């Protein structure tokens, strides 16, 4: 697509800021759409994705060809690839969002003050949201429609690998939506894919109210260090299971295996197992066998080595800080629940951590003292997910504590406004 | 107090990061205090402020002397000055916060999923909050106790003018609190007052979850451009009153005078009046007289000049973007409500804007379409305030849309956590 080689930094700046200005105007118009109008727009977007499927797949083919030329791995190519069924799933996803409840307009609080002033706290859209993402083209559609349903305009900036696909999807969404009254420029794609365009977006706090980077640590770090506006970060998931001394060990074994192996490449998969010393000798041998059956490599502390011998290699300090996203599990024996909590708060990524125990008091301490978005008692970490939480969709899992924490869906894409009604009240009584 | 002349940047870095580490440990301990414990701590803090009053006033005298030596204006010196009654008001403020409801532990949402998983969304402290502020020493106490009541540790960094006073207050709060079990290092003051210390705090995203700068635009801009963690900004208040064609003009006059003159130096004071052309000729002459009685200088658009003649000087483009904080009012005649809304969204600071009208439909449009933290109908803008909103306290008025918008008090100093309880649920059925 368009290269930036022939454009001066000033020209790139100007073009991106112009997009920002248009997005701001779109956001002002979006405030006046009610749920029915937005849902009609979303259904029209889905229809347009379907009716343009041949064109979108042709654009996707260009990306795939370029990707093969650039030596992308087969895993990367697979993430990039669209086909009829993936495109149908994308359109279906848009329709699902149309069926979700609209959070905009929700009354969060209402009171009447002694002086007669009536104060309403009402949920409103955030405004303009920037999404900066890497290769998967379905993010374009997922992110844009969640933002739209919550009343926001979006400026999307995807990776160069998917630029043709992203453009085709973005144009389909905007054009389809316009047939049902979507304001112009509600969904825009930045035509540049170099780092300079990220820098411009990050400096545009006048037009962008929030940036959500979706991608690896290096992308997020770049955005965080450049951004003048709030950034909601979805960092690693270094998730823990702690098997307490009061645990049902059969349950502990099943939860560990499920959390680690059911889908190892995702952020809510287990990375480090902590075992109370009182149950380590009983739990670990059988658990190691179950994990070996699923080809999980084990890395343990000295005490784990003492119990499992050659079935485990020694864990280094780095292991406790690593999100493997792979069939590797680090294991540490701890002397107490307090020690487990300390380990998690120090080495974890504040995403999702689970205690397995039958001791309710111990569970409650863990749930409260572990400083993570999601603290679990007796269930697989894999349930940490917007869909499983009943949100009907998810834009990511925030590891931040400000504004949105944990699974993030429509509510988390809104702000609020105080609407205050009086009858001429003054601070000073007149004359 | 301590100069930084003899310290290397590395030494400053190390000392501030060490404070961060200690604050993080304090925050972990604060999670376990219940409301009664925190209230006892707050009362002990107030008692300690009172019992140390002589020492605090002596430290304040050093700041005042230095301030006079440095040629601070009498207004600045007055803001810096403590006396018995101001110190008593400070201690009283701490006790007031003890009487407020504790938001921590509030259940925000609760549900049971079809698979039996129970999900609670619970209000929790944010963790460690950095407050960067300018001269007034009472901010030390106000900010620290609001943060503490909501379960947070604080790192405060005040201006050099008040460093002795701030240190004395901070030490009194921490020492008093410790007699009732306040964890060590819950309230810390950065001993450096140069810009380098702000830079270090802004880079410490590992230990600081949030920074709230309290001060002028230049301070906020500095923090925003440096900070890696979220910043909640309290920018200018360029507040508007729009007198619609359907307004009760007597009410419009009273609201305008009150909003402008009741306390002109604060962020919720009126700066720009917008008047519908249908009522301008009737409203403006009498209003101008009322404002003249209170020494308000008027700056108007051409149409206003046409009506008021020499009573008004011409407003420049800059006037629409200026927070006077003074007895100056800019006035513009607009052709419609839409034009008024457009003016406010373009030139305002998204703080507080009011429509005066008897037309309910027009009021509702204004309340919804003006993109500000607080939209008002028929009352003085001066009511935009945490106290008036019934929050019992206020750490500032956020002009941000993320996390906190408008008057910010205890609830806005919290985050949430999902606590999820299962009975061994797995994503894959076992074996």
Q: Give A152-214 as a 3 state SS string.
A: CEEEEECCHHHHHHHHHHHHHHHHHHHCCCCCCCCEEECCCCCHHHHHHHHHCCCCCCEEEEE
Residues from chain A that touch B368, judged by Cβ atoms under 8 A, are: 31-32, 419
Contact A376, A354 (CB under 8 A): yes
Domains in chain A, number: 2
- B175 with B61, same domain: the answer is yes
Closest CA to A236 of A220, A259, A224: A220
Whether chain B has a CB inside 8 Å of the CB on A119: the answer is: yes
Cβ-count burial B29-63 (b if 16+ within 10 Å, e if not): bbbebebeebbbbbbbbbbbbbebbeebbebbeeb
Which chain B residues in 365-394 lie under 8 Å from chain A, judged by CB atoms? 367-369, 371-380, 382-384, 388-390
- B94 with B206, same domain: the answer is yes
Residue A237, helix vs strand vs coil = coil
Structural domain boundaries, residue A110:
9-234+408-419
Cα separation values, A61 from A55, A57, B50, B248, B320, Å: 10, 6, 75, 65, 52
Residue to substitute from B417, B428, B429, interface A, most A β-carbons within 10 A:
B417
Cα separation values, A90 from A36, A87, A95, A174, B225, Å: 21, 5, 9, 15, 38
Closest CA to A365 of A348, A347, A342: A342
Contacts of B275 (CB under 8 A, 6+ apart): B242, B243, B283, B284, B304, B331, B332, B333, B334
Q: Which residue of B has its CA nearest to A365?
A: B32
- B152 with B44, same domain: the answer is yes
- A69 with A168, same domain: the answer is yes
CA B125 remoteness from chain centre? 18
Residues from chain B that touch A383, judged by Cβ atoms under 8 A, are: 117, 420, 422, 425, 427
Residue to substitute from A34, A112, A423, A424, interface B, most B β-carbons within 10 A:
A424
**pLDDT tens-digit series, residues B334-393:** 999 999 999 999 999 999 999 999 999 999 999 999 999 999 999 999 999 999 999 988
The answer to whether the CB atoms of B126 and A428 lie below 8 A apart is: no
- A49 with A173, same domain: the answer is yes
Nearest to B209 among A374, A401, A422 (CB): A401
- A252 with A229, same domain: the answer is no
- A33 with A82, same domain: the answer is yes
* Residue written as token pair 């009447």: A112
User: Domain holding B225: CATH number?
Assistant: 3.40.605.10
The answer to whether the CB atoms of B421 and A251 lie below 8 A apart is: no
Residue A247, helix vs strand vs coil = coil
- Cα separation, A304 vs A330, in Å, equals 10
Residue B255 lies in a domain: yes
- B377 with B414, same domain: the answer is no
- A194 with A261, same domain: the answer is no
Contacts of B385 (CB under 8 A, 6+ apart): B268, B394, B397, B407
Distance from CA of A189 to the nearest CA of B (A): 23
- Cα separation, B47 vs B2, in Å, equals 28
Hey, CA dihedral for A316, A321, A325, A327, is it positive or negative?
A: positive
Contacts of B363 (CB under 8 A, 6+ apart): A421, B244, B355, B357, B377, B378
- B157 with B288, same domain: the answer is no
Q: State the pLDDT at residue B1.
A: 46
H or E segment and range at residue A236: none
Residue B390 lies in a domain: no
Cα separation values, A293 from A288, A325, B160, Å: 9, 18, 64
User: Domain holding A266: CATH number?
Assistant: 3.40.309.10
Which chain A residues in 264-283 lie under 8 Å from chain B, judged by CB atoms? none
Residue A105, helix vs strand vs coil = coil
Give phi and psi for A158, each to the nearest 5.
-95, 180
pLDDT in tens, chain A (431 residues): 455 556 888 999 999 999 999 999 999 999 999 999 999 999 999 999 999 999 999 999 999 999 999 999 998 899 899 999 999 999 999 999 999 999 999 999 999 999 999 999 999 999 999 999 986 888 899 999 999 999 999 999 999 999 999 999 999 999 999 999 999 999 999 999 888 899 999 999 999 999 999 888 888 889 988 998 999 988 889 999 999 999 999 999 999 999 999 999 999 999 999 999 999 999 999 999 999 999 999 999 999 999 999 899 999 999 999 999 999 999 999 999 999 999 999 999 999 999 999 999 999 999 999 999 999 999 999 999 999 999 988 888 999 999 999 999 999 999 999 999 999 999 997 54
- A55 with A174, same domain: the answer is yes
**pLDDT tens-digit series, residues A300-353:** 999 999 999 989 999 999 999 999 999 999 999 999 999 999 999 999 999 999
**Token couple for A105:** 């307009």
Residue A289 lies in a domain: yes
Whether chain B has a CB inside 8 Å of the CB on A68: the answer is: no
Beta strand A153-157 pairing with A187-189: parallel
Residue B224 lies in a domain: yes
Q: In what order do the strands lie in the sheet with B153-157?
A: B187-189, B153-157, B128-133, B210-214
Residue to substitute from B152, B260, B383, B423, interface A, most A β-carbons within 10 A:
B383
């Amino acid at each position: 697509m368009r290269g930036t080689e022939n454009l001066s930094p000033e020209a790139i700046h100007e073009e991106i800021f112009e997009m920002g200005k248009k997005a701001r105007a779109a956001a002002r118009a979006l405030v006046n759409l009610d749920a029915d109008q937005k849902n009609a727009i979303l259904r029209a977007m889905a229809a347009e994705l379907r009716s343009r499927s041949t064109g979108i797949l042709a654009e996707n083919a260009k990306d795939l060809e370029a990707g093969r030329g650039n030596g992308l791995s087969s895993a990367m190519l697979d993430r990039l690839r669209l086909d009829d069924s993936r495109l149908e799933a994308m359109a279906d996803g848009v329709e699902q969002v149309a069926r979700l409840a609209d959070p905009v307009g929700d009354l969060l609080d209402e009171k009447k003050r002694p002086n007669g002033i009536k104060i309403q706290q009402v949920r409103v859209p955030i405004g303009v949201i920037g999404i900066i993402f890497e290769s998967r083209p379905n993010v374009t559609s997922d992110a844009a429609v969640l933002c739209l349903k919550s009343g926001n305009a979006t400026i999307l900036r995807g990776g160069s690998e998917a630029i043709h696909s992203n453009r085709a999807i973005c144009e389909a969404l905007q054009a389809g939506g316009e047939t049902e009254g979507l304001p112009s420029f509600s969904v825009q794609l930045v035509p540049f894919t170099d780092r300079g365009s990220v820098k411009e977006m990050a400096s545009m706090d006048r037009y962008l109210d929030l940036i959500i980077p979706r991608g690896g640590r290096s992308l997020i770090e770049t955005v965080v260090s450049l951004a003048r506006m709030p950034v909601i970060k979805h960092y690693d998931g270094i998730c823990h299971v702690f098997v307490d001394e009061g645990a049902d060990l059969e349950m502990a074994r099943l939860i560990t295996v499920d959390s680690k192996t059911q889908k190892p490449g995702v952020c809510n998969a287990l990375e480090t197992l902590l075992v109370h010393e009182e149950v380590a000798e009983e739990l670990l041998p059988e658990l190691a066998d179950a994990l070996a059956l699923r080809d999980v490599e084990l890395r343990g502390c000295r005490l784990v080595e003492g119990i499992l011998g050659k079935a485990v290699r020694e864990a280094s300090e780095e292991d406790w800080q690593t999100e493997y996203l792979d069939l590797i599990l680090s294991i540490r024996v701890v002397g107490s629940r307090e020690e487990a909590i300390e380990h998690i708060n120090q080495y974890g990524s504040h995403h999702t951590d689970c205690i397995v125990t039958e001791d309710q008091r111990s569970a409650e301490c863990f749930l409260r003292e572990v400083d993570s978005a999601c603290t679990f008692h007796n269930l697989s970490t894999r349930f940490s997910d917007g869909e499983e939480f009943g949100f009907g969709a998810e834009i990511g899992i925030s590891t931040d504590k400000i504004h949105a924490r944990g699974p993030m869906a429509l509510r988390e894409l809104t702000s609020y406004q105080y609407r205050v009604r009086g009858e001429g009240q003054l601070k000073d009584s007149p004359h």
